[in-house]
Chains A and B, each alone.
Chain A
Amino acid sequence: MSRFSPLALAGLLAAAPAGAQQISNLESGRPVTMDDATPLAPGSLSFSADYAYARRLDNVDYAGPAFSLVGGVVPGLELGAETRLLTNPRLNASRGIGSGDLDVHLLGAVRKESAGAPGLAVRVDAFLPTGFASHGTNLSAEVIATRSFDSFRLHATLGDIYVGSTRPSQRRNEVYGVLGFDVPAFGPWRTDTVAMADVVVRQSVLTGGNVSVGVELGLRHRIGMHTLFYAGLMSEVAGEPDRVRYRGILGLTHFF
């Protein structure tokens, strides 16, 4: 890489137009599973890159980078794509954790939050088998609700993953739910940092398997006019014997 290119890139990134997305607009998986019911504004584009490391109780750990690109298409509708690369891809693929699969999603706002009702959105994902040892296309659909209070916001998600090509003893439909909150870490006079926590409850990938319960903590911190740093920590406190003991994630999001 020459000296010129990073400088040019930094200049271009710093010159991103005003009016792009705010720190309160959450993105699922960055850093926690919870999402909010607000799609990106039309014309906005966000690019994220992160690295996650997970330790499992069976010591088959995995780690790897992820990249995502999300854009507002029309008012109330966003389109995004992301992929994550993992170590131990073959072993993880047999557990339903794809490495290099492409996740394409649409997030559509159903209604904005009002005094009497929460904001609602519907998200549809297609997990395309573009990765290593992939095993068919999976689809998911979820409903997301966001309710703000005077000092924090509550987010809930209820969804279902349809596994297109099941392995023996694998469940066809996995239902999951997420409940969490976020809060400006230093109050309304300093909104550059948002802290969040959620609980993820998910049916096992195996028929008759144990329901897993994960607890996640996360932080989004603004480090530039259009750049966010995020970090998260997750642990599955109940579930299968090979569940995740803990998982850490560090990443950056830039809004164009």
Chain B
Amino acid sequence: MKRAGLLSVLLCAACTGAGIRLPFSSLHGNAVHRFFPDLDRRENAVRYGRWNALESAWIHGVHPESDRRLSLDLLATIRRLPDFPPDPVLCAPRLAREAPAIFAALEEADRFEHEVTDALAATDATPETTASRVERSLVRYRRSRYALDAPPATAIAPELGRFETARLLLEGDWLFAHAAEDLAASSWQDQRWKVRETIDRYDREIDSPPAALEISWYRTFAPTFTRDYPAAAELFDRATRYRVEIFASLLAVGSADRRSVAAAIERRYGLHE
């Protein structure tokens, strides 16, 4: 039995080293969850916020009353620190059935972000292994029919800054970008305290998130990550813009005209069901 156990571990390790993927041979899967649980829980709270805010905006539109309720729920979730990421199907059922392409694109972007941050946080990360893992995730993401195309440049509605939920979520995007920079720019030993500093700052700032809307977090706050993985950084910022644009569109026209909002967003990002 001991030999069988040892053999299976060696086999998995050899396959991982050789780039052969067995279903359970990965040494970097869920690395953020396993090695940076404090960061993972905060990121999970942000993920809950993203899905629930989008679902609420989709159903009720964006207005001060729903914003107040959402921001309270989001702050409560940030303080609860959920151990696991949300299930999008249960958080945003109406978005899933009424705008399946938009929903699937959000899921794909989430999954891509998970994979890349896990690659950065892996215990066996080296510049070569991380680059190859990020590249593999990029290839998988781009192959998906729900990958986001680059949209034509437009300004983001500044009035979104009036909404507490939008500011909290963008602060969450800042956390993702800063954590990616900490993980990309540091050795395994230094990652720990750098991520700790970022978390402490996030915890201090979450009660009064900045009013300015920033949607290029990676380009602005993750220079090393952007230098090493420019395509991934660009896609992350694109996903942030995508989420913000959905909010902004619903702010402009309200939830009554959801179908036209969905069609316009899908056209801009090259999505089709």
Contacts and interface: CB of A to CB of B under 8 A. Distances in A.
Nearest to B108: A19
Interface residues of B, number: 48
A194 interface: yes
Contact of A15 (B5, B26, B82): B26
Contacts of A226: 30
Nearest to A151: B93
Nearest to A112: B100
Interface in B101-131: 111, 114-115, 118
Q: Interface of chain B, helix or strand or loop or mixed?
A: helix
A256 B86 CA distance: 18
A9 B23 CA distance: 13
B129 to A, nearest CB: 14
A18 B96 contact: no
A145 interface: no
Nearest to B91: A188
B4 interface: yes
A191 B91 CA distance: 7
B27 A15 contact: yes
A12 B2 contact: no
A18 B100 contact: no
A192 B24 contact: no
Interface size class of A (residues with CB under 8 A): 35 or more
A166 interface: no
A2 B52 contact: no
Nearest to A19: B111
Interface in A189-204: 189-192, 194
Given A15-B29, A45-B23, A22 B87 contact: yes
A150 B93 contact: yes
B98 interface: yes
Interface string A1-29: 11011001101111111110011100000
B201 to A, nearest CB: 24
Q: Which of B2, B24, B27 has the most CB of A within 10 A?
A: B24
A180 to B, nearest CB: 16
B88 A22 contact: yes
Rank and list the top 9 A-B pairs by shortest CB-CB distance, nearest first: A5-B5, A148-B93, A256-B23, A17-B29, A24-B89, A2-B2, A191-B87, A191-B90, A22-B87
Interface of A: 1-2, 4-5, 8-9, 11-19, 22-24, 43, 45, 112-115, 148-150, 153, 184, 188-192, 194, 222, 225-226, 256
Interface of B: 1-2, 4-6, 8-9, 12, 21, 23-30, 33-34, 48, 51-52, 55, 59, 73, 76-77, 80, 82-84, 86-94, 96-98, 100, 111, 114-115, 118
22 contacts: A4-B5, A5-B1, A5-B4, A8-B8, A11-B9, A12-B25, A15-B26, A16-B24, A17-B26, A17-B29, A22-B87, A22-B89, A24-B87, A153-B93, A188-B91, A189-B91, A191-B87, A192-B82, A192-B83, A222-B84, A226-B30, A256-B23
